[in-house]
Structure 1
Amino acid sequence: MTTQNLALDIAGHWIGGAVTTGGGTMDVVSPVDGTVVATVPRGTAADVDHAVAAARAALPHWSSTSPADRGAVLHRLAGELAARRESIARAVTAEIGAPIALSRAAHAGFPVAVTEAVASLADRINWTEEIGNSLVVREPVGVVGAITPWNFPLQQVITKIAPTLLAGNTIVLKPAETAPLTAPMLAEAAAAAGLPGGVLNIVYGVGGVVGEAITTHPGIDMVSFTGSTAVGKRIAVAASATVKRVALELGGKTANIVLPDADVDHAVAETLRYGWTNSGQACGAWTRLLVPAGRHDEIVAKLVAEAAAYTVGDPWDEGTRIGPLASQAQWERVNGYIERGVADGLDLVFGGPGRVPGFESGAFIRPTIFAGVDPRSVVAQEEIFGPVLSVIPYGSENEAVEIADGTIYGLGAAVFGERDHALAVARRLAAGQVYVNGAPFNPLAPFGGYKQSGTGREMGRAGVEEFTELKAIQL
């Protein structure tokens, strides 16, 4: 595989607008071959204290600037991120193994689009509103602690900090310990965009130390977390000691319902695209395909034919569609689910467990399809976070909706069919966002989940309002 020489070591935390060194370090390991690609600081609770102090000191000035001025900083930040696109893409490929073409298009490109979208909302939010004899004012929450995952390292950070900044808050960010390499690029871009020192602070480290310190710190007014449902529950409990607001964007088990009047070829192609992009490591990945029972075998045959194009390869190869999973630990998890599906007697029609020939030293996994899956099975119920698709037959539309809603999650769903018919089914589903006929993602629309997929919303106007307090002034 291609050898890449990248200077990615991180010298220190970003606190108060400057690099702060001290303490130990930890390694960032490539999932391609297990080599160390960078070292980063291992933060402590004292580092979080320092960052919170800087954020609190910067809060009065930043919160008093106008939304228009804050939006202008975000517009400039989008430009600075765009100028660093190649460096960002290469860092993401190095740390999580995303194919380089995907890293450029999504991992580096989407944060720019989201930042621009949030910036455009500066004059589209009711920062003040008169209701009867009351003046209702939206004000910043204060200091926000952001804890982000490894699967979309920069995108998940931008999804939190862009609306946080527009709302007038200051931030203490903990990026994922296994995928922190875009964070210093963000700090550099923010400084170049004119963001005052102390408004954005970054502390690297592990969740049990830095994440815990952020969650429980009395100087942090709100915690925004993206990650697993299990960890989200623990954060909610820990944050309750200081009664701080908590926003949680958690797991998902997206079902895609193919209605009898759907364009099946289009549905099959989009199912794999939305399900296997980023090696299936996305909370909104389409992991369950619900099909009319009478057309199950036909659709499975089309899926298998389409899946043949999703070859596993070196992520530095421009033509690769499926790179490794993000870590060996993730490989163990996903492979374990595939083995469980086989042990449970599910019909394995594509892929399967075990190492990929020619890529044994890395965290490469075979994209896998199970057919005729019982919707109550473990593989159909639990979030796998890998390129594993369950095809589930249904008998009636009501049964399809029941199956789609039949997990603890409610983050996303999809429906394919005649437009009005598909829209009617979409309205019935208990999910925070539903894609009809493969419609594109909209960064101005709210993003979040029902049930155990989380609380609160990100993106769009709702995402900005999430980081505000409401004050009623009676006149």
Structure 2
Amino acid sequence: MNSELSFPAPAHWIDGRPVPADGPTIDVINPASDAVIAAVPAGTAADVDRAVAAATAAFPGWAATAPAERAAIIQRVSDGLRARNEQLALTITAEMGAPITLSRTAQAGLPPVVTAATAGLAADFPWTEQIGTSLIVREPVGVVGAITPWNFPLQQLVTKVVPAMLAGNTVVLKPAELAPLSARIFAEVAAEAGLPAGVFNVVQGTGPVVGEAIASHRGIDLVSFTGSTATGKRISVLGAQTVKRVALELGGKSASVILRDADVPAAVAASLDSAWVNSGQVCGAYSRLLVPAELRDRVVELALAAAAEYSVGDPMREGTRLGPVASQAQRQRVVSYLERGIAEGATLVTGGPGPVEGLPGGAYVRPTIFADVDPDSTIAQEEIFGPVLAIISYTDDDHAVAIANGTIYGLSGAVFGEDAHAMRIARRMRTGQVWVNGGRMNVLAPFGGYKQSGNGREMGRFGLEEFLETKAIQL
């Protein structure tokens, strides 16, 4: 563990201050070393009650605060996150294993950019507008429950909490117990930025206890959840008991389609990078690579050559491309899928279920490529959430589109080919995002899925609208 890191005593963050644990705690384990690095409280439904009470008390004053003033505080939060980049990067690498270079640029580097972009929406957003004889007023929903995952712990926090607060809501957050530490830093930054006490609260703990208490709480008006599709379904059921709004960003099994007129080497490199970045623990990862049958051998050769550039090792070491997955349980899950892929007849190109050479400890997984994958097989249909790429051959455009759309998911995807051709395919893909020829990320564009990848949208104006009610005042 890096000597520069230290963590506070286990505590929630309620009503603007740390609330120490008064019961059992949950160990936070560094997946690179299996060492315990910190602990957080094992929160209870009573802790959620206290946080909701604080958020409820803070709501009238925060909702009445002018959007421009709320935006100014949020901009200061962005500045504070940027100032703590190295602390955040080291913390996230320690708690969930992302390589330190990725943590600096994406895990800790992207959240202040998204936060500032969200703050910038306030000036031009139509908080009120006239339609005929009606005044349309957009108002905060109330108290928001946010439940975030471990793969991008700070970024997922920011995409929920920041637009919710800009909209005038107060928030109760449950971060993932595997990666809970950056939430405390965010709370400190927000307090330093002048956020009133009670607007942002953190209750640490597990999904079955704290998550379910948030989803079913009568005092929470909207739940925003990112995580597995199975858990999202459970949250929908719990939320329905009080008819609260539920926004879900769930699993994915995204396809990257290489067309016959594509720049094939560039397409393969980009697709592999998406499949393996963050050790494959990305909901929108291009985990399926669809290639024309006659290009199968060339694509496999290119993918194998590109794979040699991905070093696996200590995530705190500069230059490491792939660290461990987030936990030993996640490692076992990924390995079981690798074994299933072999048993179902896919061709193992590289990697596989064995140990990573030179890394006897830690939650390390061999980055893996399969070829000749049946589109209906387990590894082509289920979200693995590990560094695994499945290469699938297709015959023509219609076949490629059918395979791309042939899962329960619809979160993301990519197409590589001549621009007009690629656009035609992109429009046919039933997914919330499609990247054409490596298009650039836009933090103001909506992010979310079709089908069992969820509902609602995050990021930009669309993400802000998720946290607003619409009132018509008839004149």
Query: What's the TM-score once normalised by structure 1's chain length?
Result: 0.99
| Contact 1:6/1:37 (<8 A) preserved | no
Alpha-carbon distance in 2 for matches of 1:81, 1:286 = 29
Partner of 1:106: 106
Provide the secondary structure at the position in 1 that maps to 2:287: strand
Q: CA deviation at 1:6?
A: 2.6
Partner of 1:16: 15
Q: CA deviation at 1:4?
A: 4.5
Q: CA deviation at 1:423?
A: 1.1
Alpha-carbon distance in 2 for matches of 1:15, 1:3 = 29
Q: CA deviation at 1:265?
A: 1.1
Partner of 2:40: 40
Provide the secondary structure at the position in 1 that maps to 2:130: strand
Q: How big is each residue's C-alpha offset from its partner over 1:410-447, in whole Å with a ceiling of 9 and x where there is no partner? A: 00010001112111111111000100011122110010
Residue type of the alignment partner of 2:106: A
Partner of 1:205: 205
Provide the secondary structure at the position in 1 that maps to 2:241: helix
Partner of 2:126: 126
Residue type of the alignment partner of 1:287: S
Q: How big is each residue's C-alpha offset from its partner over 1:219-245, in whole Å with a ceiling of 9 and x where there is no partner? A: 000000000000000000011101100
| Contact 2:10/2:25 (<8 A) preserved | no
Partner of 1:149: 149
Alpha-carbon distance in 1 for matches of 2:350, 2:66 = 55
Q: CA deviation at 1:362?
A: 0.9
Partner of 1:227: 227
Q: CA deviation at 1:388?
A: 0.4
Does 2:84 align with 1:75? Answer: no
Provide the secondary structure at the position in 1 that maps to 2:110: helix
Alpha-carbon distance in 2 for matches of 1:92, 1:450 = 29
Unaligned runs of 5+ in 2: none
Seq. identity, %:
62
Deviating above 4 A after TM superposition, structure 1's stretches of 4 or more consecutive aligned residues are 2-5
Provide the secondary structure at the position in 2 that maps to 1:409: coil
Does 2:422 align with 1:413? Answer: no
Residue type of the alignment partner of 1:170: T
Alpha-carbon distance in 2 for matches of 1:10, 1:356 = 34
Does 2:6 align with 1:7? Answer: yes
Q: How big is each residue's C-alpha offset from its partner over 1:336-367, in whole Å with a ceiling of 9 and x where there is no partner? A: 00010011111001111121122121110011
Partner of 1:55: 55
Alpha-carbon distance in 2 for matches of 1:180, 1:94 = 11
Q: Following superposition of structure 1 onto structure 2, how do residues 119-268 of structure 1 map, counting pairs within 5 Å?
A: 119-268=119-268
Partner of 1:385: 385
Alpha-carbon distance in 2 for matches of 1:72, 1:103 = 26
Provide the secondary structure at the position in 1 that maps to 2:204: coil
Provide the secondary structure at the position in 2 that maps to 1:223: strand
Alpha-carbon distance in 2 for matches of 1:302, 1:408 = 29
Q: How big is each residue's C-alpha offset from its partner over 1:173-230, in whole Å with a ceiling of 9 and x where there is no partner? A: 0000110010111011001111110000001011111111111110000000000000
Residue type of the alignment partner of 2:6: A
Alpha-carbon distance in 2 for matches of 1:445, 1:148 = 20
Q: CA deviation at 1:125?
A: 1.6
| Contact 2:163/2:464 (<8 A) preserved | yes
Query: What's the TM-score once normalised by structure 2's chain length?
Result: 0.99
Residue type of the alignment partner of 1:246: V
Residue type of the alignment partner of 2:190: A
Alpha-carbon distance in 1 for matches of 2:358, 2:89 = 25
| Contact 2:154/2:183 (<8 A) preserved | yes
Q: How big is each residue's C-alpha offset from its partner over 1:365-385, in whole Å with a ceiling of 9 and x where there is no partner? A: 011000111101100000000
Q: CA deviation at 1:289?
A: 0.4
Alpha carbon RMSD of aligned pairs, Å? 0.9
Residue type of the alignment partner of 1:23: G
Q: How big is each residue's C-alpha offset from its partner over 1:444-465, in whole Å with a ceiling of 9 and x where there is no partner? A: 0010000000011100101000
Residue type of the alignment partner of 2:280: G
Query: Which deviates further from its counterpart, 263-272 or 249-258?
Result: 263-272
Residue type of the alignment partner of 2:185: M
Provide the secondary structure at the position in 2 that maps to 1:182: helix
Q: Following superposition of structure 1 onto structure 2, how do residues 456-467 of structure 1 map, counting pairs within 5 Å?
A: 456-467=456-467
Unaligned runs of 5+ in 1: none
Residue type of the alignment partner of 1:143: V
Does 2:299 align with 1:299? Answer: yes
Alpha-carbon distance in 2 for matches of 1:310, 1:215 = 40
Residue type of the alignment partner of 1:14: W
Q: CA deviation at 1:5?
A: 6.0
Alpha-carbon distance in 1 for matches of 2:255, 2:473 = 45
Alpha-carbon distance in 2 for matches of 1:321, 1:199 = 38
Residue type of the alignment partner of 2:401: V
| Contact 1:9/1:40 (<8 A) preserved | no
Partner of 1:367: 367
Partner of 2:93: 93
Q: How big is each residue's C-alpha offset from its partner over 1:14-37, in whole Å with a ceiling of 9 and x where there is no partner? A: 111011122221100111121101
Provide the secondary structure at the position in 2 that maps to 1:354: coil
Q: CA deviation at 1:10?
A: 3.9
Residue type of the alignment partner of 2:353: P
Alpha-carbon distance in 2 for matches of 1:378, 1:286 = 16
Q: CA deviation at 1:399?
A: 0.6
Alpha-carbon distance in 2 for matches of 1:102, 1:10 = 27
| Contact 2:5/2:87 (<8 A) preserved | no
